[in-house]
Amino acid sequence: MFKKSLTILSIASAFYLQAQDVSIIRNSVDVYSANPLTGSAKFNAMAGSMGALGGDLSAINTNPASVGVFITGNISGTLAVNNSKTTSSFSNAANSYKLNNADLGQLGGVAVFETSGNTPWKFVNFGVNYTNQNLEEYIETPANSSYKFQDSNLVDTNGNPVTGTFTSLGHAYDRTGNLTNMNIAFGGNYDNKFYVGGSLNFKGATIEQYDSSRLSLDVDNNNSYVLNKQGTPYTEDSNGFSVSAGIIGKINNNIRLGASIESPTWWTQYRTYSEVNEDNLGYYFDYYDEDRKFTSPMKATLSGAFVMNKNFAFNVDYSLGLTKPKYKDPGPLPNGEESAEHQLNDFFNSNYKNLSELRVGGEYRYNNFRLRGGYGISNSPFEKRANFDDLYVGKRETLGVGFGFDFKSFYIDAAYNKITTNSTNVYGDGNYYSLANNGDVEFFTNNPNTFTSKLEDVKNNVTLTLGWKF
């Protein structure tokens, strides 16, 4: 058996932190700052493009003025069935992994209050909507003999130093959790020409994440070891809050324009993780709890809709991030080094660009039948750099189709979405530890190399909505 003395390398530069904490960078953008496509089947079928049309509970996420468009009370619930396939390609080899899950996708309602008298305000409405997005993802990168690094700090069972070479037998990244959003919205209809609204948005996220590599060691008869990355696994529970406001205006009977703005989301992240340390008695685990303050970008959306008649409507939304992700900086550490939050902010200031997204969608009505479709595309939020090109979060394309049937008081909608994302998976660089069968730390090593694989993530989502109008 071979053991290694513990060596902890200090973080000397922002680049090292970026490799060490690449999952934090990814979650900051992909979980806490993204525009998730989740909600009712109608919303999903139109690829989330409803900013100037409104009249759907999930459209509150795009434009809270949507709640002012309702003329009848409405309650709806949505079942979401998700299938995903993630393929990681590395040097002419590829591994694919499939996941399936079903969950509550949306639940909400709106109360409509018709006014009386001579006031131009026709309706004053109140709505509540809850959405839930599954964050589960598993990335398995294949083995490759070119992934090697040497460790000169190994010792044999007699305590004699040896140098061994580790060879990759594969890498795995596993994330589970959920992202939720509760909208409490108020809106009104002014003279059937303008619709206004505002929303209080209460968000939550739960994440559990693993990062491990399987390596063989030549001086140990090429036996294989599963090594966990230092600081993993970890869990994260977060709460966020934002406010939003919007307006929809009828230019004429056919043209509608909409605009909305959402404040930054102020997040509090509670994180629990463990790290391996060493004393005279050997290796041991230290367990840590920490909280961070994080602010996701402010966002604005411009929308336009063409309503040909009662049978056909078409909508376009363009969303743009107005600020950059930012962590609250606690200041220099006691040893004088910059905090992790400071280095993360430096990274975002240097490499992050405003996230933009374009969505188009349409609906055709024939008697009580509805036919819907939509398309969306969003850019990568990272500048084109050799080391960070599409870092975990790349260009995303969304295709949606769906149908519905209106039974006057009740309605049913169904939708299918295909969401394709291409990005780069960065792994390797950092400290890793191996556990023996009894749970004790077997050895601790540092991998000085950074490797990247190409990722293609394809999600096939089916949503079913049941609603009641009253």
Phi, psi of 443 (to 5 degrees): -160, 170
- Quote the pLDDT of residue 390: 57
Angle value at C-alpha 354, between 450 and 392, nearest 5 degrees: 25
- Quote the pLDDT of residue 20: 41
Residue 344 corresponds to which tokens in the numbers above?
Answer: 């993360």
- Band (276; pLDDT cuts 50, 70, 90): confident
State whether the Cα torsion 99-100-102-106 is positive or negative.
Answer: positive
Residue with the bigger pLDDT between 347 and 393: it is: 347
Angle value at C-alpha 338, between 334 and 344, nearest 5 degrees: 140
Q: Where is 25: in which H helix or E strand? A: helix 22-30
Residue 195 buriedness (CB in 10 A; 0-12 / 13-18 / 19+): buried
Question: Locate tokens 């960078």: which residue?
Answer: 25
Terminal alpha carbon distance of the chain: 72
Phi, psi of 351 (to 5 degrees): -120, -15
Q: Are 181 and 107 in contact (CB under 8 A)?
A: no
d(CA 393, CA 424): 7
Residue with the bigger pLDDT between 421 and 392: it is: 421
31-78 pLDDT per residue, tens:
999 887 789 999 999 999 999 999 999 999 999 999 999 999 999 999
Question: Which long-range contacts does 304-309 make (Cβ < 8 Å, 24+ apart)?
Answer: 304/52, 304/255, 304/256, 304/257, 304/258, 305/52, 305/53, 305/255, 305/256, 305/257, 305/258, 306/254, 306/255, 307/53, 307/253, 307/254, 307/255, 307/256, 308/254
With H, G, I as helix, E, B as strand and everything else as coil, classify residue 2.
coil
Whether residue 119 has pLDDT greater than 70: yes
pTM: 0.90
- Band (91; pLDDT cuts 50, 70, 90): confident
- What is the average pLDDT across 199-225? 91
The total of other beta-carbon atoms located within 10 Å of residue 309's CB is 9
Residue 174 corresponds to which tokens in the numbers above?
Answer: 């596993």
Tell me which residue of 270, 278, 393, 436 sits closest to 23, measured CA to CA.
Answer: 393
d(CA 374, CA 402): 9
- Quote the pLDDT of residue 9: 25
CA 155 to each of CA 29, 159, 442: distance values in angstroms, whole numbers, following the listed order? 42, 5, 12
Tell me which residue of 218, 127, 225, 128 sits closest to 169, measured CA to CA.
Answer: 225
| Nearby residues of 159 by Cβ (< 8 Å), 6 or more positions away | none
Share of the chain above pLDDT 90, in %: 59
- What is the average pLDDT across 305-321? 96
- Band (4; pLDDT cuts 50, 70, 90): very low
- Quote the pLDDT of residue 8: 27
Q: Half-sphere exposure of residue 330, counting CA atoms within 13 Å on the CB side?
A: 11
- Quote the pLDDT of residue 21: 58
Whether residue 265 has pLDDT greater than 80: yes
CA 103 vs. chain centroid, Å, equals 17
139-179 pLDDT per residue, tens:
999 988 888 888 887 777 777 888 889 888 999 999 999 99
Residue with the bigger pLDDT between 225 and 88: it is: 88
* Structural domains in the chain, sorted by start: 3-469 (2.40.160.60)
The total of other beta-carbon atoms located within 10 Å of residue 454's CB is 16
Q: Are 469 and 409 in contact (CB under 8 A)?
A: yes
Residue 374 corresponds to which tokens in the numbers above?
Answer: 């939509």
d(CA 384, CA 195): 40
Whether residue 436 has pLDDT greater than 80: no
Q: Average the pLDDT over each of 8-17, 51-60, 449-458 and give the range with the smallest value.
A: 8-17
Q: Are 135 and 177 in contact (CB under 8 A)?
A: yes
Q: Average the pLDDT over each of 37-41, 244-248, 398-402 and give the range with the smallest value.
A: 37-41
- Band (456; pLDDT cuts 50, 70, 90): very high
- Quote the pLDDT of residue 5: 34
DSSP for residue 426: E
- Quote the pLDDT of residue 391: 61
Residue 371 buriedness (CB in 10 A; 0-12 / 13-18 / 19+): middle
Angle value at C-alpha 34, between 413 and 52, nearest 5 degrees: 50
